[in-house]
Amino acid sequence: MKRIWLLFAQTVTVLLAALFVVATLKPEWLNRRSVLPTVVPVIESPGTPAITGSSATSRSLRDAAKAASPAVVSINTSKAPESTPHTNDPWFRFFFGDQAQGQPQEGLGSGVIVSPAGYILTNNHVIEEADQIEVVLNDGRKTVAQVIGTDPETDLAILKVDLTGMPVVTLGDSDALAIGDQVLAIGNPFGVGQTVTSGIVSALGRTQLGINTFENFIQTDAAINPGNSGGALVDINGHLMGINTAIYSRSGGSMGIGFAIPTSTARTVMEAIVRDGKVTRGWIGVEPQDLTQELAESFGVPPGSGVVITGVLQNGPAAQAGMRPGDVVTHLADKPVGNVTQLLSAVAALVPGTPSTLDIIRKDGPLKLKITPGKRNLSRNTPTNR
């Protein structure tokens, strides 16, 4: 009996020792289990289909880039060097060579083909004062462009090239954009070649940035750098939502704050330039100011529901209509006016010579005026150029 117990004890001791050795040196031998695929449930909101398999690929922005990129062009500009008193002096040129003539100034930007007829949208500052403008298509074709017209107050310009078979971007509805929508910025930054960057709409209706006279910018965090000016801001369908114009930067490079002119503005400017060769805007001759809390209370109107007029140009359209300093404009052409920017845009949209209605509030009550706007003149550098 003792032998059996001794044999049992020795066997158990050997097995435990073997188990200890295996656990120490080869622990995976003890953890072998059948490997089964892990299934992660897809949680979806009611009415929203789950994105699985090949459908997930559709979230890529490749289709938007593929649709819009061919219509985005590079724009190279050059300006002849300024002449000096010694430019035509043969002796000066003999000693100093062609350096006496200076070096031509070159610029770089982008543009968007918006019509099969060869019309290209870009920024005015891209082609301003250029003596020669060269357009380079995404397929490698190059040609000289003609300036059809410019609008410095929105920083837009229309070019035209004579080529066949050109790709055209689809104009989208920028008024339907919402904060958080995905967008792509397409252009030629730093001259490295066409580049596509992605981001979202960070804000809408940005004004008072001191960039243009008429400001209503789309703000995006899609990387925009020098050379992107005049390029396309498109949505996930590849439709044009804006023209990339400016960035906020302390270093000269992208810091995630870029601004684009909405397609709604660009379309209006483009149609006017193609039709008339220029943009004609209304003018009434007033100096407006946003309503402060105190002024709003004194007139008995909510803040942001009108604009107070602090100055009226003598014999201007507003003065002839009976407007006085201290009047609060609430509506123009039956459209509400909540701030100075809205009033400026509403006045600019008026057709010169065509009467319109103006709703104002005076201390003795509301009043409706009939005003005939004049033509806005860029040479007027006074606050009443509105």
Q: Which residues are catalytic?
A: 125, 155, 229
Instruction: Fill in the DSSP letter of residue 41.
Output: P
Instruction: Give the burial class of 258: count Cβ atoms within 10 A of its Cβ; 0-12 exposed, 13-18 middle, 19 or more buried.
Output: buried
Report residue 57: phi and psi, to 5°: -65, -25
**Cα–Cα nearest to 343, from 384, 292, 296, 301:** 384
CA distances from 239 to 174, 176, 283 (A): 9, 12, 33
The DSSP element (H or E) to which 273 belongs, if any, is helix 263-276
> How many other β-carbons are positioned within 10 Å of the β-carbon of residue 118?
20
**Cα–Cα nearest to 318, from 327, 43, 305, 145:** 327
The DSSP element (H or E) to which 260 belongs, if any, is strand 258-262
Residues of 197-228 as b/e, b for ≥16 C-beta within 10 angstroms? bbbebbebebbeeebbbbbbbbbbbbbbbbbb
